[in-house]
Chains A and B, each alone.
Chain A
Amino acid sequence: MRIHHNRTLIAALLAGTCLASGPVLAQDGPIKIGVLEDQSGDFAAATNVKVNAIRLATQEINDAGGIAGRPIELVIYDTQSDNRRYQEFMRRVLQQDQVDVVFAGFSSASREAYRPIVNQFNGLAFYNNQYEGGVCDANMIVTGAVPEQQFSTLIPWMMETYGPNVYTLAADYNFGQISAEWVRQIVAEQGGTMVGEEFIPLGVSQFSQTIQNIQQSDADFVVTLLVGAAQASYYEQANSASVGLPMASSVNVGQGYEHKRFTPPSLANMYVTTNYIEEIDTPESNDFVERFRAMFPNEPYINQEAANSYIGINLYKQLVERAGSTDHDAIRAVIAEGDVCFDGPSGNVCLDPKSQHMSHTIYLARVESDHSITFPEVWENITPYWLGDAGCDLTQNDPSAQYTPSNPPPAQ
């Protein structure tokens, strides 16, 4: 009985100490931001730059006095392009490191791996990647572009320019499958034909047969939704077999800077819709590139995810300062006001309160035969409308689910 008594006493004492000191510490100490990105493994080429973008934004904000006077402290883990690492480190940053917000994830598989953990501990995570769309989750803020921003601009433009017959080549996991569904739907809406569709397992690097299937079809252009370094071998192999068809993509160039890494002209005639790449020639973009290279002179390429991550940190600063705390409900109340915007490297962007996704200026980038980039078209202020239109409204309820055109939110 005595032991039991002592334990209760100790527990009560501990709880008292925590209650007393917790809020005081949180207000005075630094704001901790967890960063889980793939700094090694299959995706490293595209994601190292995101970590550096976060470092750049952090240093700029800390030099200017921090977030509401509190400095930012980064807690960075290398998730090694491995979904299990995401789960392990997500638990660690939320439970052990007690971070205020997490910036995490490249592949959609990794996002879906860690999202239940963020929900379980009621954390807040920024996902700064373009992806297949549809995540309606109050614990997530998504700064990357989504299909209604990338495909509803790209596919009609391609069909008008090159013809109605479309062949899709997509990575065989949630991103590729759902993106391909979007392409299918837009092609049907525009009166075109899907002449072929093939899903490629991650890690496949030999495309001889696939190339022949494409040559046998009457495709006017190929939509390439290939992911990872292994699958990127497709372009070199298609070029050496003289496939010669224009390509359309939401992932290439803007992420893995394939046009810089591959020998011209293997990527010639590829069209990509992206919300940022370093070639964009605006004063804001040039200024961003200059500041980035001043801090990281050896950065191979500043891609759209780098810009999104940089914007993400700045949006978080604004949210915390307007909310007056790092409390998630207070932050979401600010988002619900619907005027959280940031003038960054890619122009003006705003958070949509219903889906907590971000509006974008979408640039159509064309890869020339010498692998330089031109921009035949720019669409300004494209909003992430689909989730809100389909019935996701995070200001009202939080289903914490991912929806697709064939699996929309249930009618209220």
Chain B
Amino acid sequence: MSVYTPEQKVKLARYPGRPGTADYIQNLFTDFFEQRGDRQCRDDSSILGGVARFHGRPVTVIGHRKGRTMEEKLRFNFGMPGPEGYRKAQRLMRQAEKFGRPIITFIDTPGAYPGRDAEERGQGEAIAQCLALMSSLTVPVVAVVIGEGGSGGALALGVANRVLMLENAVYSVLSPEGFASILWKDASRSGEACSVMKLTAQDLRSSGVVQAVLKEPEGGAHTDPQAVYRTVDAALRRELAALGRVNKRSLARQRYQLFRSMGQDLHPARGAAV
């Protein structure tokens, strides 16, 4: 059992000093070759992705990028992708499928960007296509929730064979602020929202949304990043080794079943279909 309350974990998960996607890429991979652009209109730098070697083996790595300094945050739009980011992710995933590379994603976003341009260019459609594509891939996909897993913008990189989550990361249907403002018309009740939303790694492990919780150093990931890199590295090695023994069709089927089963036990089939 962790010492932090859900509300404290939300703070830890959002802490700017916490290791982000770029840090994991730099520390866990070699030979990273960044791939940019959606080939339609622009490059969305709030999604960082490319090909790299993981223990010598080429993989496709994709993650949300928040940035640490104010300048970076502005450049990466605080880790809130638009449709171009999700289309870039799709492009990279299709290439991974084509070349038979495993995919590793890092999830860390407050959510997809709620902006005018984003809507104009089909934010909803871009996320929907990500979900559909990921569900059908025949390569191993492992997702790691490293910080903030906010809403559909997080899930868009999260349809994986295995979803891992750092001990103090959070993952939820909406930010606690948004949740409180929708349900209670009062965003200031976000603390209360944190405690009812079951958004911690431990909660999500027990509801079957994530498959493994990765330990963080006492005080949180930012206090000893090297220790966290070692933990995540070991976990990814283990998962990829296990998934490497599964054939292509079974990988897609297993991933489909994982998400097909979400909430299914609450509604047992009763042979209602003809």
- A pairs with B: no
- Give the B-binding residues of A (Cβ under 8 A): none
- Give the A-binding residues of B (Cβ under 8 A): none
